[in-house]
Amino acid sequence: MLKKILLVSAFCAAACAAEAPDASSSDEADVTSDATLKLTADFTTTLVGRPKAGGGLRVEYALERLPQCRGNLGGGAPGWNVTGFYSENGGAAKTFEVTELTADGKDRVAKPARLALAHGGDLALWFQVSNRWGCSEYDSQFGQNFHVDVGGPPPDAGATIVFAADGRVDQQGELRAGGKLRVRYEQDRLPQCRRTQGGNPLWGITGFASIAGDPPQSFATGRPAGADREAIDAIVELPRSGELALWFEVTSVGGCHEVDSKGGQNYRFAVE
């Protein structure tokens, strides 16, 4: 996710690598799904039905939730937009559209979107309003994002690495180029920086993965569970062979941060 609380970069870090929109429908009548997530103007979030792999999730987002950053260009066209982001199993963010222009081109109105669900597991969503002049605000549940459990099998992963709360690191299976790695990072392994507000956690743990010195890809390691957080099984892509380095950082509002990186050496594994 706050966001405008400083946790945007930590909890929604994947948005920095967001891909082009690929989840919205060209016409509201075409938007059908097995479940519907409603985020209404009174800041209520309601899930109707149970999303399942192979189906879809309809997202109805009320633009009144993000009233900031409004402004028009010359001629009256809106210079602002609200964008949705989603992340599957802690992975890189993708974007989707939740607005459309009115017939006269002078305003934006809400439009339902449909997300195709390929795999089971954790689905995180958040929203951003931005304009042409640099204004930006987030709706992300105090930086924790909105989470939905998707039924069905998670993505196939040839290997699993568990970072246990007691400091152990357990690997099962072999890491193969072109495959996937499942990473489970127990949240109590980095116990620092715990802060809450209104019963919501204002901290999060982000994982980082780099192969052979490539720029790191970030991934989420958990989701809110009441005033605490619980671990999720994050899926990390292994695009090529080489040495995989993993490390983790906890951050919270107020600037607190601590790193789990094996004394600055990072945790290293061979990708064949």
> Residue 236: its pLDDT value, please?
96
Mean model confidence pLDDT for the chain: 89
Question: Contact, 91 vs 14, CB < 8 A?
Answer: yes
pLDDT band of 75, cuts 50, 70, 90: confident
Instruction: Compute φ and ψ for 16, nearest 5 degrees.
Output: -65, -20
The arithmetic mean of pLDDT across residues 47-53, rounded, is 96
pLDDT tens, residue by residue, 86-117: 999 999 899 999 999 999 999 999 999 999 99
> Residue 198: its pLDDT value, please?
85
pLDDT band of 74, cuts 50, 70, 90: confident
pLDDT band of 223, cuts 50, 70, 90: very high
Q: What sign has the CA pseudo-torsion 170, 173, 177, 181?
A: negative
The residue that leads in pLDDT, 92 or 184, is: 184
Share of the chain above pLDDT 70, in %: 88
CATH hierarchy code of domain 159-271: 2.60.40
pLDDT tens, residue by residue, 187-201: 999 999 999 988 889
The residue that leads in pLDDT, 10 or 107, is: 107
Domain ranges of the chain: 8-150, 159-271
Fill in the DSSP letter of residue 32. Answer: -
pLDDT band of 143, cuts 50, 70, 90: confident
Q: Look at phi and psi of residue 96 and say left if phi exceeds 0, alpha if psi is from -120 to 50, else beta.
A: beta
- In this model, does residue 265 exceed pLDDT 60? yes
> Residue 7: its pLDDT value, please?
40
Q: Which of 9-13, 124-128, 260-264 has the lowest mean pLDDT?
A: 9-13
3-class SS string, the chain: CCCCCCCHHHHCHHHHHCECCCCCCCCHHHCCCCEEEEECCCCCEEEECCCECCCEEEEEECHHHCCCCCCECHHHCECEEEEEEEEECCCCCEEEECEEECCCCCCEEECCEEEECCCCEEEEEEEEEEECCCCEEEECCCCCCEEEEEECCCCCCCEEEEECCCCCEEEECCECCCCEEEEEECHHHCCCCCCEECCEECEEEEEEEEECCCCCEEEECEEEECCEEEECEEEEECCCCEEEEEEEEEEECCCCEEEECCCCCCEEEEEC
> Residue 207: its pLDDT value, please?
98
> Residue 253: its pLDDT value, please?
87
Cβ-based neighbour number of residue 199 at 10 Å:
9
This prediction's pTM = 0.81
> Residue 199: its pLDDT value, please?
87
Q: For residue 116, what are the CA distances in angstroms to 52, 83, 119, 228?
A: 10, 17, 9, 29
Label residue 103 exposed, middle or buried (CB < 10 Å: 0-12, 13-18, 19+).
exposed
